[in-house]
Amino acid sequence: MTVLTGLDRLVRESFAPLAGRRVGLLTNPSAVDGSLRSAYRRFADAPNVTLAALFGPEHGFAGTAAEGAEVGHAIDARAGCPVYSLYGETLRPTAEMLRGLDALVVDLQDIGVRYYTYAWTMTHVLEAAGEHGVPVVILDRPNPLGGAAVWGPLLERSHASLVGRFPVPVRHGLTIGELARLVNALWNPAPAALDVIVCEGWRRTLTWVETGLPWVAPSPNMPQISTLWHYPGSCLVEGTTLSEGRGTALPFEVTGAPWIDAGALADRLIEEGWGAPLGAGFRPHRFTPLAGKWAGDECQGVQVHILDRARWRPLEAWLGVIITVRAMYPQQFAWLPPASPEGIYHFDRLIGGPWMRKEIEAGMLSGQGPGTILGRFAAEWLDDARAFEGLRAPYLLYD
């Protein structure tokens, strides 16, 4: 089947909902219609809409900046309008950036995982727009992981950042439009006038490959659909001294370090049951990252394969890898330290609080096996998921 995104519907309707208005557009190259025309080109070429300002999230409006790299403002030659970065000197639009706009349109391809910055940039837009009286229009897009599964711990508000601002689980099962409705209603101190142009033909059970839509990588290290399915678990490797595969052809699908024995790690993961029950397979892997951690050094580790999508549990599988490496290499493995003594560990910021890292360390010191440690977390996640499903219910837009 073929699904229509909010952008597809807007084009089909000849931009009628925005006709005659001066709009700002938050987008990047991954926001395309069914014919691979970008939202930017569609708005720039629309005769009945004035594209007055462009906004870019992390990686910039052009989508080329490295992760974490600040991006500056610019002028767009085609549209002759300013391109404001929301990942540089400011994370939210200023009053000057919003002046003269009749609406601020958001078209970003989110990936359905809490620790991904685009959706949280959208929430900063909602706050600024509400404060300054600018209506917001979300052009909705499918959650590529589907909208049925909700899993993982909730974020503690003390650990809010641009990789998670509010108490949602790691997999929230929402489209960016649904998340906007929830955040705007529950956590926006000045709720914006919000309209969501919904997808046509999308159901919560559909993953990206079932939509018939073309896939464009939303960020430099999210190159293919398989990466998305690993990311809810493999992103946590960022919070350790292990490479998460940045600077290779398989970011977030491989992990390792120079001090690991690849064969021994793969064997241990299989022996401890992290494979078949979780739909995973482990292959010894050697790689030399060109960027990121261990750039230029040969690493040994594993490539994690998804062997059974129906049983695949990325959080458990990848946490199993992390905990097993911690057990096998206690002198070499480390959590990335905070930037300051009173700062927050990056792993804690990603998972949502300090409790998991502390329990892993306590379990290791008391001689508990990785499976015993992780088993305690899964029970808590089930409670979190059920609570969030009730919280999100009034804001769902699809069956």
SS (H, E, C) 249-270: CCCCCEEEECCCCHHHHHHHHH
pLDDT at 369: 78
For the residues 61-73, what does the mean pLDDT come to?
A: 94
Is pLDDT of 72 > 90? yes
pLDDT band, residue 168 (cuts 50/70/90): very high
Residue (of 312, 327, 320, 303) closest to 236 by Cα position: 320
Chain mean pLDDT for the chain: 96
For the residues 309-330, what does the mean pLDDT come to?
A: 95
For the residues 30-35, what does the mean pLDDT come to?
A: 96
Q: What are phi and psi of 180, to 5 degrees?
A: -60, -45
Is pLDDT of 320 > 80? yes
CB 33 within 8 A of CB 7: yes
* Domains of the chain from N-terminus onward: 6-212 (3.40.50.12170), 225-385 (3.90.1150.140)
pLDDT at 1: 56
Of the listed ranges 58-62, 377-381, 389-393, the least confidently predicted one is: 377-381
pLDDT at 374: 80
For a pLDDT cut of 90, what percent of the chain falls above it? 92
